[in-house]
Amino acid sequence: MGTDREKLVVIGNGMAGISAVEQILKLTSKFDITVFGSEPHPNYNRIMLSYVLEGSKTMDDIILNDLNWYRDNGITLHTGTTVVRIEEETKEVVAENGLRVPYDKILIATGSNSFILPIPGSDKEGVVGFRDIADCHQMLEAAKTYRKAAVIGGGLLGLEAAKGLVQLGMEVTVVHLMEDLMERQLDHQAALMLKSELERQGIKFKMGAQTTELLGDKRVSGLQFADGTELEAEFVVMAVGIKPNIAVAKASGIETGRGIVVNDYLQTSMEGVYSVGECTEHRGICYGLVAPLFEQGIVMAKHISGVETAPYAGSVVSTKLKISGVDVFSTGEFIDGPEHTVISSKDEWKRTYKKILLKDNALIGAVLFGDIDDSAELQKLIKQNAEMTDELHASLMGGGCCGSGEKKTKSVETMSDEEIVCGCNGVTKGTIVDVITNQGLTTVDEIKACTGATRSCGGCKPVVEQILQYVLGDGFTSAAKQGICGCTTLSRDEIVAEIKAKGLQTTKEVMNVLGWNQPEGCSKCRPAINYYLGMLNPDTYEDEKESRFVNERMGANIQKDGTYTVVPRMYGGVTTPEDLKKIADVSLKYDVKVVKVTGGQRLDLIGVKKEDLPKVWAELDMPSGYAYAKSLRTVKTCVGSQFCRFGTQDSMGMGALLERKFERLDFPAKFKMAVNGCPRNCAESCTKDIGIVGNDGGWEIFIGGNGGIKARLADSLCKVKTDEELIELCGAIMQYYRETGNYLERTSEWVERMGLDHIKSVVVDDIEGRKALVERIEFALKQVTDPWKKMLGDDENRNKLFHSLEMSDQL
């Protein structure tokens, strides 16, 4: 480190502090920077914790600046280290472990802590806040053991926590003191619609309830309310608010109110010390949302770097709810009074609601539910205190002659360069314009890789696209063309057509001939190309294991502790005593932690060590259930006419036949089937990729069902009278999906994209076309065998497999 450089110490390793550091690094190189963080992690995106909780993202996914970033920028990082005071006389910061670091300038960005209600029992086991990754981990662990949870607080954090716990399988009740959810951001109508939607997603509510005590001995067992009623709960999340973390400021004699008091350049009462983020109080306001902390960081960075800047004048806050399937937005004022002009629309069928508030004909606030496409423009207009006009009304509320493209382009044109576009990562319009102009970026993926915009929740992607269109002008359409990933501008159909036309044989050949900008491709395109090559040339293509996802290469699903789950095939959910004995013997021999009955009527051997996988499969001597593959996973069945008094068809026999026939074959995504012997639907055909329901006259076929995050009921495709017709149609449906589906696209999405009528015209109405599809799938089936059978044939092959597992890179 250079001795002539000023020493900047940043107290706080969160989004506010590191965003400010990123701005400083762009403006000056005059600082040697040291960062203290209380958590044992590099900087991560705290507002994405709800996605970690619900399971759609991991800790690695939400890291914003990894350890390499600190090293590459010459920043000294102390993780797991809390600063307790600043000594102004000696110009040093002092950490709780005794470490003393000299400073010339300081930035305090200590954020906030969860507010824990001061009620009896709040210190019991099983009571947590929802503020950091450690809270997330406690919630994930609790969901493994306990069933009933309560979330105290119906605000933004509380609802995100509740949805995450529901996704983890817990029974969750949100307890809220007020009668409306998110009453600080939503009006009564939007709050009612939100509550109704979340109830549909499985969350229960107890509104207008004041919690007076948490019951239980050592661990919490329930909640006591002011009206004398109680609620059973084995786990409680406190989400009733946050408190600015001002401990280090108070211990150092810096002026504090509710937060650390700063002026318009984010300077505290102590010379050379700045403060930004949730710990900061500016003009009497402490902001608890992400956009203001980035706006503060920009002003602070310019001021400390000696760059001219306008003072920070406060922020117009906005809120988006980050729950899958729920779109809610609020900005500015949202409760209408007699001084307001209200513009609103409500569509109960589409479950959408929009309200815009005017005062003296200027936009001052808005609430959106269900459709938040206009959120970015409304936030800009309200920040500008824009005047409502006939043209603007037509643009925002529909009608008139304003095309959406014209409106959007005009919107980004009038945005200032300092305006935050990506609230998750603090990326401004000016930054995006700069990388498009100076680095020649032409796609959203390139902008994401360079700036971080759209990297997290993706809500800003439409605005980023609008900025691209604004900057590139006439060149936007061709330049911004998106391919299957950032490595190419080619679509799925274009890639498949080129493979056919040019006779391409390997993934490397495809990427080389078709001009990939990443010679080795990425984890998104390599498995896709591997699938397309195998689908087009089943007899000649040699599958590339290195282009498969890790679970497919291992033949088992990796778990978070590094062990694996092994799932043998059970055709139609039926097994034998002999196979059950094999499973029991292997489970005991290899110390399997849990044997679980899966939702697909199979047994899941959980906790197999990596080095034991080949031996486990060899001793089971059963076909793989392909629980890890993009192929036919399960065919769920009821007992059918063999045993059930209501059964009209042999569902077990048909299910086993279909499973044996179509196993081993690759699909664009995982594929599940179910066969019911009667319309009572015990095998749940309505949520399967192909669902089959027996009746007195034959079978009814349903397609496109999904029981996952994006649940969808299957559509009725047709009815057939014979088993032969049923098998033929299943084969035709599968092959048409194999040939036209995008890689990783489930049939639920495929049916909606292709259209049910179109699919029916191809596989049902066109008899000759159907027979051709069946011929192609029969040809493909003849080329495939169970790879585990081949690999486990002898000791030499088992050793080769074990070596490949050891050498396997994590795709």
For residue 119, what are its two tokens?
Answer: 């009620």
Q: How far apart are CA 99 and CA 106, in angstroms?
A: 16
Kindly state whether residues 228 and 249 are assigned to the same domain: no
Radius of gyration (C-alpha) of the chain in whole angstroms: 30
In a domain, 541, yes or no: yes
Average pLDDT over residues 37-45: 93
User: pLDDT tens across 163-212, in order?
Assistant: 889 988 899 999 999 999 999 889 999 999 999 989 988 899 999 999 99
Q: How far apart are CA 585 and CA 262, in angstroms?
A: 68
Residue 482: predicted pLDDT: 65
For residue 430, what are its two tokens?
Answer: 């000016």
The secondary structure of the chain in percent helix, strand, coil, rounded to multiples of 5, reads: 40, 25, 40
User: pLDDT tens across 721-765, in order?
Assistant: 999 999 999 999 999 999 999 998 999 999 999 999 999 999 999
State the residue range of the domain holding 167.
127-240
Kindly state whether residues 720 and 777 are assigned to the same domain: yes
Taking 60 as the threshold, does the pLDDT of residue 479 lie above it?
A: no
Average pLDDT over residues 238-255: 95
3-state secondary structure of 145: helix
Tally of domains within the chain: 4
Q: How far apart are CA 151 and CA 149, in angstroms?
A: 7
Kindly state whether residues 231 and 256 are assigned to the same domain: no
- Alpha-carbon distance values, 79 to 2, 40, 93, 296, 486 (Å): 23, 5, 15, 24, 33
Kindly state whether residues 190 and 290 are assigned to the same domain: no
Nearest to 563 by CA among 602, 612, 507: 612
pLDDT band at 152 (very low <50, low <70, confident <90, very high): very high
Kindly state whether residues 730 and 751 are assigned to the same domain: yes
In a domain, 600, yes or no: no
Which CATH number does the domain housing residue 201 bear?
3.50.50.60
Kindly state whether residues 650 and 534 are assigned to the same domain: no
Residue that wins the pLDDT comparison between 361 and 391: 361
252-256, 337-341, 553-557, 792-796, range with greatest mean pLDDT: 252-256
For residue 455, what are its two tokens?
Answer: 């990297």
Average pLDDT over residues 208-228: 96
Average pLDDT over residues 156-166: 90
Residue that wins the pLDDT comparison between 312 and 327: 312
φ, ψ for residue 213 (rounded to 5)?
-160, 145
Q: How far apart are CA 214 and CA 237, in angstroms?
A: 11
Domain end residue (candidates: 279, 305, 331): 305
Kindly state whether residues 219 and 255 are assigned to the same domain: no
Kindly state whether residues 236 and 90 are assigned to the same domain: no
Exposed/middle/buried for 472, CB within 10 Å: 0-12, 13-18, 19+? middle
Range of lowest pLDDT (146-150, 275-279, 324-328, 388-392): 324-328
In a domain, 468, yes or no: no
In a domain, 95, yes or no: yes
Domain end residue (candidates: 527, 547, 567): 547
Kindly state whether residues 676 and 772 are assigned to the same domain: yes
Which CATH number does the domain housing residue 725 bear?
3.30.413.10
Average pLDDT over residues 455-479: 73
Kindly state whether residues 232 and 255 are assigned to the same domain: no
Q: How far apart are CA 134 and CA 55, in angstroms?
A: 15
DSSP string, 177-206: SSSSTTTTT--HHHHHHHHHHHHHTT-EEE
In the block, which residue shows the tokens 């009955």? 597
In the block, which residue shows the tokens 């209501």? 646
Q: How far apart are CA 562 and CA 571, in angstroms?
A: 29
User: pLDDT tens across 90-136, in order?
Assistant: 999 999 999 999 999 999 999 999 889 999 999 999 999 998 899 99
In a domain, 71, yes or no: yes
Domain end residue (candidates: 240, 268, 296): 240
Amino acid symbol at 623:
P
CA angle 399, 400, 406 (to 5 degrees): 105
Residue 533: predicted pLDDT: 94
In a domain, 802, yes or no: no
Kindly state whether residues 663 and 769 are assigned to the same domain: yes
User: pLDDT tens across 498-527, in order?
Assistant: 999 999 999 999 998 998 888 788 878 989
Kindly state whether residues 229 and 82 are assigned to the same domain: no
φ, ψ for residue 489 (rounded to 5)?
-100, 5
Q: What average pLDDT is seen over the chain?
A: 87
pLDDT band at 542 (very low <50, low <70, confident <90, very high): confident
Residue 520: predicted pLDDT: 82
In a domain, 470, yes or no: no
In a domain, 391, yes or no: no
Residue 786: predicted pLDDT: 54
For residue 222, what are its two tokens?
Answer: 């329930």
Q: How far apart are CA 448 and CA 454, in angstroms?
A: 6
